[in-house]
A and B are shown apart, each in its own frame.
Chain A
Amino acid sequence: MTSLWLAVVLAAVGCYLLKLAGVSLPESILNHPKVQRVAQFLPVAMLSALVAVELFDGGRRYALDWRILAGVTAGVIALLLRRGFLVVFLVAIGVTALLRLIT
Chain B
Amino acid sequence: MEEPLPERGVILRAAVGIGLYALAFGASVGAFAVGSGLTVAQTMVLSVVMFTGASQFAFVGVAASGGSPFAALLASLLLGVRNAFYGVPVSEILHPRGLARLWTAHFVIDETTAMAISQSSPRARRYAFWATGLILFSLWQLGNFAGAMVGRAVNPSDIGLDAAAPAVFLALLWPGLRRRAARWVALGGAVVALALVPVAPPGIPVVAAAGVALVAGLLPQREPAEQSEEREVT
Contact = CB atoms under 8 A, between A and B. Distances in A.
A76 B162 contact: no
5 contacts: A11-B76, A23-B101, A54-B166, A60-B198, A71-B167
Contact of A41 (B54, B90, B182): B182
Contact of B176 (A14, A43, A98): A43
Nearest to B117: A43
A72 to B, nearest CB: 5
Interface string A37-73: 1111111111111111111110111100101100110
Given A43-B86, A45-B209, A92-B160, A51 B173 contact: yes
A91 B162 CA distance: 13
Main DSSP-derived SS at the B contact region: helix
Residue picked from A7, A38, A45, most chain B C-beta under 10 Å:
A45
A53 B176 contact: no
Interface residues of B, number: 103
Interface of A: 3-16, 18-25, 27, 30, 34-57, 59-62, 65, 67-68, 71-72, 75-76, 79, 84-89, 91-98, 100
B81 A7 contact: no
Nearest to B170: A51
B20 interface: yes
For the complex of A and B, 3 pairs with smallest distance between CB atoms: A22-B87, A38-B217, A97-B160
Contact of B214 (A12, A38, A43, A49): A38
Contacts of A20: 101-102, 105
B63 interface: yes
Contacts of B169: 47, 50-51, 54
Given A59-B65, A96-B160, A41 B212 contact: yes
A44 B55 contact: no
Contact of B89 (A16, A40, A68, A75): A40
Given A46-B189, A49-B206, A85-B21, A92 B167 contact: yes
B106 interface: yes
B187 interface: yes
A61 to B, nearest CB: 6
Contacts of B233: none
A54 B83 contact: no
B30 interface: no
